Structure 1
């Protein structure tokens, strides 16, 4: 079972997403480029965001924890991410459903946010595997996942039906517990030595 928890580095804080975050999240999700490869632009309008929060972000809290990403430099919500599909028997979960405001993409924000979730997954929850999935053609997401140190495992063909009726080929990546300490050291070094990690 996933318990609500706040996690933070010097620059980024992850905290369970609440209704109080929605106004800032709506602004963070305003750029259309964010949604090119995503099934559902839930920041299209405030009504849609409210429904997403109620029906998706709050869905099955035993298997997922949905986080607001806060850039501590400005004290504002710059996106959301989650640890989900928790499988206690197989000690695994997935990290995803992430979006980050266009203004802070390719900065320290994603590295710090993912570091926090990975560290929580491996060191607090004692998981042995964390999976990342993205659209086969989403190069920005694939590059970001690769930069974390995740291994590309392959493509799952026609893995998910899209709202337009087409099917998505999904690129699957993973990090396992035996990789974590090495990846943790590299991420820690990156976070300490560069402003744009």
Structure 2
């Protein structure tokens, strides 16, 4: 790493020429091929509650600060709060094949001045988990912050006990930054928080595998992937 020093000979960070600010994240839809990511509204409540009800074990909510929800009114009460939140800024993931909302995700800790935002509160129903739509939704949200809005850093944080979330972050191209011990107390228990990130300089290398994976010719007529996203990521990294 190149060392930069000031007039006093002290090491300092590299210049960021022309930096002023990233743009605020708009509450507008992001359209994809398999799914749309749209501002969350109360109109989504019936579809979302139905989709989440398929998680009969309640494990979807284990690492979330809220849930599980016992009934539709309880879920609607929370959803109303989420709809009116600006940070986190919530979106619903819509299955383009039927127009139904099947999951939510949000941007949070949004800091345009420093060009940093986090993706979080990712609650994907069983109908969305491990699907092409799930991956595309994450790609669409990344593309917005980097390509449309000029952010420098995009973060993913999760409970260090949440192995599935950590695996998802790595699959999606996030790099592990470290562990913040005793960072949060939620649901009456401690959370050590694992931090991951993608930087703007990494994004072109990560975007290319997403685009290759999402291309129609990477899927069979039955919708099965031909080449895994991880394979495209390895190729982009210059690995065999």
**TM-score of the aligned structures, taking structure 2 as reference length:** 0.76
What displacement does 1:162 show? 1.6
Instruction: Give the match for residue 56 of structure 1.
Output: 82
In 1, Cα distance between equivalents of 2:106 and 2:129: 17
RMSD of equivalent CA atoms: 1.6
Deviation at 1:88, TM superposition (A): 1.4
Structure (1/2) with the larger helix percentage: 1
Structure 2: distance between partners of 1:156 and 1:57: 29
Contact preservation (8 Å) 1:42, 1:52: no
Query: What is residue 103 of structure 1 aligned with on the other side?
Result: 127
Listed as ranges, the matches of 1:171-190 within 5 Å are: 171-190=194-213
1:27-176 pair list within 5 angstroms: 27-30=50-53, 31=55, 32-41=58-67, 43-59=69-85, 61=86, 63-164=87-188, 166-176=189-199
Aligned twin of 2:37: 14
1:172, CA displacement in angstroms? Answer: 0.8
Q: CA deviation at 1:99?
A: 1.0
Larger Rg: 2
Structure 1 unaligned spans of 5+: none
In 1, Cα distance between equivalents of 2:113 and 2:128? 37
Query: In terms of mean alpha carbon deviation, does 124-133 or 100-109 score higher?
Result: 100-109
Asked which structure has the greater RCO (Cα within 8 Å, sep 6+), the reply is 1
SS in 1 for 2:33: coil
Q: 1:111 to 1:52 in 2, by over 3 A?
A: same
Instruction: Report deviation, 1:42.
Output: 5.4
State the alpha-carbon separation in 2 of the partners of residues 20 and 57 from structure 1: 10
Distance in 1 (alpha carbons) for counterparts of 2:172 and 2:186: 27
Unaligned runs of 5+ in 2: 1-23, 230-240
Instruction: Give the alignment's TM-score, normalised by structure 1.
Output: 0.92
